[in-house]
Amino acid sequence: MSRQKYGQCSLAAVILLLLFSFAAFSGAGTVNDVGEKRPDILTIGSGSHKTDRQMPPVQFLHDRHTRAVDGQCAKCHDLTDKNKPDFTYKDTKDADVSTRKDIFHDTCISCHAEKKAGESTGPMEAACRSCHNADPDIGSSWKDLAFNRSLHYRHVSSDAIAPAVPGAEDNCSACHHSYNEASKEIFYEQGKESACIYCHKDAPTELPGSPTADGRQTIRSERQAAHDSCVACHLFLTDKKVKTGPVECAGCHGPAEQAAIRTIDDVPRLKRNQPDVVLITGWETLGDDHDENAKLIAAHMDPVAFDHKLHETQNATCTACHHESLDACILCHTTTGNEKGGYVKLADAMHSIDSTTSCIGCHAELKQSENCAGCHAQMPEKSIKDRACDSCHNVDVKARPQKLLTDEEFTAGLAAAVIQDRAQAYEKTDMEKVPDIVTIGVISKEYKPSRFPHRMVVKAVFEKADKNEMARAFHGQELTLCAGCHHNSPPSMTPPKCSSCHGKSTDIAADKPALMGAYHGQCITCHQEMNVASVQPTDCIKCHEKK
């Protein structure tokens, strides 16, 4: 190889190397390492900069600006007639895109420029990319605020919140309202209080009827309505030097701040005329015609006694079940389904495993919680047809006088009695009869037999179940809990040995593990699911000593 040729080759090699190293670096550069995470990021701009040659949107840090202007909302927001801030940026409400752009540029930059010397301020003119940064070094930690029963009660019980209706006993009217289509006004309707989301959806929706007096044509989004009400009220009370809720983004939407919100465990029941117990029937109402009634009753499952009061305490909000309104389920979800109910019929609304608002769906989810999953994670969720209907549908009405079934008080009493029976029926097991230490050595090879503290485990499981209303109601008796391990055979104080079903080899067709897999599967999976930190899955000698 001549010297010249050698030189050319090495030059080419160097260029290639450089190219590849650049490629590698640029590849690494695309990974967006988010530095700070904030809950107060507002995005101004369309975000269409990648396609239509616009500048990237601005990631505006609201809390930082609130502090910069010493909490003077009026710096950026107009005040409405009721002295509440309008949460749209000043003058931009009805402006077109280009006017809005000019307003933002003028006011942002002039305010930044106004700041006194020495004070840190935002970007000025000719620093476009400082605000319009396509790859900002911040991420969002914004979290939806769960306005749960505890938080609701703190507002209900607050002296600072005065009712909108003078002289009212409760302050519900301060926030809750209905809309009068005829007079086009909102008004307070006692006993009709509902969740905001029933009317104020994720995005603004059309207002029924013609526009309101002030020209409004839409129902505000939940976000808008919540800020209009919550933040405005907090600001109002802050001005009056009354202790109130947060006005900064982070106060409600910051993860740390949310965790610090004081919760009240023993929340009194909401006053909304809701029933204590409900007899859930497949028919909507019974008429006067006895024959027709008899047919209706015969054509449907036995009703379910539903402990409404108990379920209120088990859920954070009413919307956990009442996803669209506080009406009875059957008013939308009819037995055959209709448009109003989204063609979800009553049976599906109650039984759908995939839905968290259905009975079975919600219960299935709860069964995967730490206390239940030890057993239930290893039990495939049964399909509806494989379930025992009578564990819920057990109110025998066929023998009752029909006349009484139209009487709400009577049906409620009927349901209450069934619920009462259910609670009392939970049969305990004599712990003395439960084997204490069980030595498992049938497959012992490398390790010594395991001395399994059977009674200790049983006791722990029983105690957990005893504290849980759902567990007591559905297990029916403590003995059922034994089936967590002693599965697929009837509940018994003397269940068959594991080895009567599980052998030396795996049964692939039945998906039945061999003995070793069965033992370890149950013990280890249960420990993992229930987060039993004292027994780690790989800590072999914790259960059986080495030979």
Partner 1 sequence: MAISRRKFIGCMAAAAFGTTTGATRLAHAVSGKEFTGYPDSFGVLHDSTLCIGCRKCELACNQVNNLDKPDKPFDDLSVLDDRRRTGEAAYTVVNKFDGNVFAKIQCNHCQEPACASACFVKALYKDKTGAVVYDESLCVGCRYCMVACPFNVPAFTYNDPLTPKITKCTMCLPLIQEGKLPGCVDICPKEAMTFGRRADLIKLARQRIAQNPDQYVDHIYGEHEMGGTAWMYLSGIPFSDIGMREDLGTTSAPELTAGPLAAVPIVVGLWPVLLTGVWAINKRKEKIAAQEQAAAVQAAKDQAAQEKTKALEALQQKLAKEKETAVAAEVKKALEEAEQKAQQAEAPDETTADTDQAADTLPDGSGKQEE
Q: Which stretch binds partner 1 (CB under 8 A): 41-49, 183-191, 406-414, 519-527?
A: 519-527
Among 511, 531, 533, 547, interactor with partner 1 by CB under 8 A: 511
Q: Which is nearer to partner 1, 399 or 508 (CB)?
A: 508
Q: Which is nearer to partner 1, 38 or 367 (CB)?
A: 367
Strand, coil or helix: 178:
strand
Q: Which is nearer to partner 1, 71 or 537 (CB)?
A: 537
Residue 441 lies near partner 1 (rule: CB under 8 A): no
Distance CA 523, CA 503 (A): 17
- Token digits of residue 473: 């109601």
Q: Which residues fall within 8 angstroms of residue 252, CB to CB, at 6 or more apart?
A: 145, 230, 245, 246, 258
The DSSP string of 321-353 is T-SS-SS-HHHHS-SS--TTTTT--HHHHHH-T
Q: Which is nearer to partner 1, 366 or 514 (CB)?
A: 514
Q: How far is the CB of 524 from partner 1 (least distance, A)?
A: 6
Q: Match 């003078």 to its residue by tokens.
A: 166
For residue 424, give Cα distances in angstroms to 307, 412, 465: 15, 18, 15
Q: Which stretch binds partner 1 (CB under 8 A): 176-184, 229-237, 468-476, 508-516?
A: 508-516
Among 118, 166, 380, 490, interactor with partner 1 by CB under 8 A: 380
Q: Which is nearer to partner 1, 283 or 447 (CB)?
A: 447
Q: Which stretch binds partner 1 (CB under 8 A): 111-119, 121-129, 253-261, 515-523?
A: 515-523
Query: What is the CA angle 95-80-223, rounded to 5?
Result: 70
Q: How far is the CB of 489 from partner 1 (least distance, A)?
A: 19
Strand-pair category, 205-206 with 185-187? unpaired
Q: Which is nearer to partner 1, 300 or 376 (CB)?
A: 376
Q: How far is the CB of 517 from partner 1 (least distance, A)?
A: 3
The contact mask relative to partner 1 for 276-305 (x = CB under 8 A, - = no) is ------------------------------
Q: How many residues bind partner 1 (CB under 8 A)?
A: 20
Q: Which is nearer to partner 1, 239 or 539 (CB)?
A: 539
Q: How far is the CB of 502 from partner 1 (least distance, A)?
A: 10
Strand-pair category, 138-140 with 36-38? parallel
The closest of 332, 93, 112 to 215, measured between CA atoms, is 93
Q: Which stretch binds partner 1 (CB under 8 A): 238-246, 252-260, 463-471, 532-540?
A: 532-540
Q: Which is nearer to partner 1, 243 or 546 (CB)?
A: 546
Contacts 24+ apart (CB under 8 A), 409-414: 411/279, 411/281, 411/303, 412/275, 412/276, 412/277, 412/278, 412/279, 414/279, 414/305
Q: Which residues fall within 8 angstroms of residue 95, CB to CB, at 6 or more apart?
A: 103
Amino acid at 124: M
Give the distance from CA 179 to its chain's centroid: 28
Residue 309 lies near partner 1 (rule: CB under 8 A): no
Decide if 76 contacts 178 (C-beta within 8 A).
no
Q: How far is the CB of 375 from partner 1 (least distance, A)?
A: 14
Among 428, 517, 542, 545, interactor with partner 1 by CB under 8 A: 517
Q: Which is nearer to partner 1, 441 or 521 (CB)?
A: 521
Q: Which is nearer to partner 1, 126 or 509 (CB)?
A: 509
Q: Which is nearer to partner 1, 278 or 372 (CB)?
A: 372
Residue 513 lies near partner 1 (rule: CB under 8 A): yes
Residue 516 lies near partner 1 (rule: CB under 8 A): yes
What values do phi and psi take at 532, rounded to 5? -80, 95
- Token digits of residue 416: 């209450």
The closest of 49, 229, 50, 61 to 138, measured between CA atoms, is 61
The contact mask relative to partner 1 for 313-352 (x = CB under 8 A, - = no) is ----------------------------------------
Q: Which of residues 478-507 bind partner 1 (CB under 8 A)?
A: 506
Residue 531 lies near partner 1 (rule: CB under 8 A): no
Q: How many CA atoms lie within 13 A of 44 on its CB side?
A: 19
Decide if 333 contacts 324 (C-beta within 8 A).
no
Residue 538 lies near partner 1 (rule: CB under 8 A): yes
Q: Which is nearer to partner 1, 82 or 547 (CB)?
A: 547
The contact mask relative to partner 1 for 359-378 (x = CB under 8 A, - = no) is ---------x--------x-
Residue 255 lies near partner 1 (rule: CB under 8 A): no
Residue 164 lies near partner 1 (rule: CB under 8 A): no
Q: Which is nearer to partner 1, 7 or 517 (CB)?
A: 517
Decide if 132 contacts 56 (C-beta within 8 A).
yes
Which secondary-structure segment (H or E) carries 59?
strand 58-61
Distance CA 247, CA 230 (A): 8
Q: Which stretch binds partner 1 (CB under 8 A): 14-22, 277-285, 324-332, 513-521?
A: 513-521
Find residue 447's DSSP bridge partners.
Answer: 546
For residue 490, give Cα distances in angstroms to 470, 479, 506, 530: 21, 10, 23, 25
- Token digits of residue 399: 């023998």
Count other Cβ atoms within 10 Å, centred on residue 295: 12
Q: Which stretch binds partner 1 (CB under 8 A): 71-79, 81-89, 296-304, 511-519?
A: 511-519
Among 7, 146, 537, 542, interactor with partner 1 by CB under 8 A: 537
Residue 1 lies near partner 1 (rule: CB under 8 A): no
Q: Which is nearer to partner 1, 480 or 528 (CB)?
A: 528
Strand, coil or helix: 400:
coil
List the beta strands (DSSP E) in 251-351: 278-280, 304-306
**Residues forming the site for partner 1 (CB under 8 A):** 368, 377, 380-381, 506, 508-509, 511, 513-514, 516-517, 520-521, 524-525, 528, 537-538, 540
